[in-house]
Amino acid sequence: MIRPAVKDRRDCAARARSAGSVVVVLGVLAAAFAVTSSIVPRSARGPAKEPPVAAPVVPAAVRAVSHTVVYELLGAHGARNVTYTAAGSALTQRSEVTTPWSVSFTESVPAGRTPFRSIAARNPGPGELRCRIVVDGAVVVEKAVQEPEQAFVSCAV
C-alpha cells in the first residue's frame, strides 16, 4: 500500500507543474497583448469612430439698402487733387476739375450700417472752395475754405 501513496504524490506534483505552466503561459500572453496594443497604430485596429458632424450654419439674410450719393465741389477757380471714396470705399482721384463739379453713384449697404464717405480737394486760386456730400437728396455734410490759395477742404461722414 505504500506504492499507491507515492504515485499520488507524483501525480500531484505533475499537476502542480502543469498548472504553473498554464499560469506562466497566460501571463506571457497578457503581456504580449498589452505591448502589441500600445505599439500597433490606431489605423491597424480599424477605423476610428468619427465625432458627429454638426449641421452647417446658414447666416441670416441681411437686408440691403440702396442710397444715391452725390459729391459736389463748388468754387470760382476749379479744384485740384480731388480724392473721393466711391461705392465699396474704392479711392478715386482726379488731378484737376472745373467747378461746379459733381459725381454720383448708387451704393448698396446692409441695413443699419453707415458706410464711410469722403471727398477732399485743394483750392487752386483765391476765393472759396466748397465741398458737399448729399445722400438721397439730403445734404449730410458741407464745408468750405477761403483764402489762401492751395487751401485744402474735405468733407467726410
For 39-77, what is each residue's pLDDT tens digit?
655 555 566 677 777 777 777 777 889 999 999 999 989
User: Residue 105 corresponds to which cell in the numbers above?
Assistant: 453713384
Question: Taking the model in full, what pTM does it have?
Answer: 0.60
What is the C-alpha separation between 106 and 73, in angstroms, rounded?
Answer: 19
Residue 154 neighbours by CB distance under 10 Å? 15
User: Residue 6 corresponds to which cell in the numbers above?
Assistant: 507515492
The helix (run of H) or strand (run of E) holding residue 14 is: helix 2-39
Tens digits of residue pLDDT in 98-152 = 999 999 999 888 888 888 899 999 998 888 999 999 999 999 999 999 866 678 9
Question: Starting from the edge strand earliest in sequence, which strands make up the sheet with 64-75, in order?
Answer: 101-110, 64-75, 129-135, 138-145
What is the C-alpha separation between 46 and 35, in angstroms, rounded?
Answer: 18
What is the C-alpha separation between 60 and 63, in angstroms, rounded?
Answer: 9
What is the C-alpha separation between 125 and 131, in angstroms, rounded?
Answer: 15
User: Residue 90 corresponds to which cell in the numbers above?
Assistant: 474704392
